[in-house]
Amino acid sequence: MDRQIPQPTTKLAKRLLLTALIASSASGCASQRDVGVAMAPPQVAPTNSFAARAVDSQQVPSERETATIRPVGYNDGVVFAAPTLIAQAPAETDERSTGKGLQLDPPKEDGELGVGELGDGELGDGELGDGELGDGELGDGELGDGELGDGELGDGSEGDKETVGKEDGNEAAAEKKEANSPPASVDYYISTALARHPKLLAARQRVAAATYVIPQAKALPDPTFNNTFWPIQDQALETAAGRVGHQMSVNQMVPFPKKLQTKAAIASREVQIAQAEVDLIAREITESVRLAYYEVWFAGRAIAIIEETKDLVADLTDVAEARYRSGGSQQDVLRAQLETDRLDEQLISLRKQKQIAQADLATLLQQPVGLVPETVDKLDIADTPQQLESLIALAEQCNPKLRGLAWEIQRDREKQRLACLQKYPDFTVGVNWGLISDSSSVLSPVANGHDNISFNLGTTLPIWRDKIDAGIREASHRTSSTTRRLEAERDELYGKIRRLIAQADALSEQRDIYEDRIIPRTEDTLKLSIADYRGKRTDFFTLIETYRELLMFETQLARIDATLAGTIAQLDRTVGCPY
């Protein structure tokens, strides 16, 4: 007898299938008679019916097949291919267990499935009541597309395993791609950034380019070569020695002494200005790396504090549940669970903040996609300097911006000196050679064909004094402007150093107060509050407030540490060298 697998595709069909199976199982005929399961021809359901709406919501294939009953044999038995938990076991055995199906013949063709081939655990003991089938007892996912395949029905189809395997492989590849780098110190990241940052590399190239300007500035101008000739021999210049065939000259311009030296000094100052710019960019990159590193550290530290606090909240929940079992209020248990949810929400925000800081740090390291930098657990914070005068003296010597402006002043003074040297003339020296011909066409009776050699000396005439004086005044004003810029930058620098020292001192004092006094006392208060709550001497609201204060103080201490480290990083950049 041919048997086909019915394929229920809607909730309504599944419920009808299970209802029919219950009826047939109750009569005892399902396990003793030859019963077949057949698939009726496809029927088109009305578009406004419940089955059609269910099919659309589950996005099943457009060819809908409705399982119907076709009697086979006698007794008009009706059996649907459905989970066999409620079917009766064979009469010859007393064993009853979940997963034992109806004992029918195995399928004769591929794609057919007998009633007894259903897998274990597909329909639990509590899913069907005594002859009742509620709306919620068979959910959308209890008999899904994966449980009734195209000829297979078991604990899990091979296609599902394959899909799960692919998903696991994709997740593993994504985790490998975004794997965190080993924790490293801030000095390691600073050295990495300084070695590969393009802005710094570009500034170094500008320094290298500026160094090659010096030999160009102090070199003499190129000499000149002239050749005068007469294409018509009879019209050529004739001397007593004969006709001049070619008259050639080589000339060299020699600037007034000190002009080339001054130009070389200006080029040297440009190199020093470019080097000061390199130092400034390096300081900026160092500060940016340290600030990004400290933000990553703070986010990681705050996440660790939240994770530790979740353990504390779990203990508080246990205490609230114990008190509730002894006659307390259930509101305390709900408030404790609400605190856990609130901590989970904070973790989401902190993880996002950490990812942003890691992206900023990875960008500075020229690995904005593949690197997820991690920090060490303990932050190494340098001591706050106390002497303002010593820091100002160091800044005068080391600050790249001040040094760059000082070199600009020196360059402008050299330009002013060069403008003054324009009052003096430049010289030109040269040698001339005349090629003489003593052919028979010459007129002179004493022509001997000796070539002529002569020397020449020339000079410029700096007579346009207005132009020269204007150049001198221009250089003077530029020097004065750069001097004022240096003074303004120095004043701003001194004020910034003073502000940073005051901020670092305040943060250091706050850190000591939090670490030595506030947090230990809050921890003791929380322990007493827990003991009082267990003894019913205080309410849960007071306990939660104390716990929140401890969480806030620990997070604030981590923020103070990160801010203090960032302030010292800004102070290092402002001073420009170790102190």
> Residue 118 half-sphere exposure, CB side, CA atoms within 13 Å?
22
Answer with the residue of higher pLDDT: 370 or 338.
Answer: 338
Give the separation between CA 571 and CA 394, rounded to whole angstroms: 12
Give the separation between CA 361 and CA 299, rounded to whole angstroms: 13
Three-class SS state of 194:
helix
* CATH code of the domain occupying 186-220+255-425+460-575: 1.20.1600.10
Alpha helices in 43-114 (DSSP H): 50-58
Retrieve residue 222's tokens: 């190129």
500-559 pLDDT, tens digit each? 999 999 999 999 999 999 999 999 998 888 888 777 787 888 888 888 899 999 999 999
Q: Is the pTM of this model over 0.75?
A: no
pLDDT at 388: 82
- Return the domain boundaries, the chain: 1-177, 186-220+255-425+460-575, 221-254+426-459
Answer with the residue of higher pLDDT: 357 or 534.
Answer: 357
275-310 pLDDT, tens digit each? 999 999 999 999 999 999 999 999 999 999 999 888
Statement: residue 470 has pLDDT above 70: yes
Q: Which residue has the tokens 């509730």?
A: 324
Q: Which residue has the tokens 């060490």?
A: 376
pLDDT at 434: 82
Answer with the residue of higher pLDDT: 21 or 394.
Answer: 394
pLDDT at 557: 94
DSSP at 517: I
Give the separation between CA 546 and CA 524, rounded to whole angstroms: 10
Statement: residue 101 has pLDDT above 60: no
Give the separation between CA 507 and CA 569, rounded to whole angstroms: 14
- How many C-beta atoms surround the C-beta of residue 290 within 10 A? 22
Q: How far is CA 487 from CA 387, 414, 495, 541, in A?
A: 22, 20, 12, 59
Contact call for residues 397 and 406 (beta carbons, < 8 A): no
Q: How far is CA 204 from CA 89, 168, 191, in A?
A: 86, 47, 16
Give the separation between CA 181 and CA 374, rounded to whole angstroms: 6
SS (H, E, C) 408-419: HHHHHHHHHHHH
pLDDT-derived band at 102 (thresholds 50, 70, 90) equals very low
Q: Is 173 exposed, middle or buried (0-12, 13-18, 19+ CB in 10 A)?
A: exposed
How would DSSP label each residue in 287-338?
Answer: HHHHHHHHHHHHHHHHHHHHHHHHHHHHHHHHHHHHHHHTT--HHHHHHHHH
Give the separation between CA 1 and CA 105, rounded to whole angstroms: 10
Give the separation between CA 164 and CA 265, rounded to whole angstroms: 73
Q: Which residue has the tokens 């000094």?
A: 265
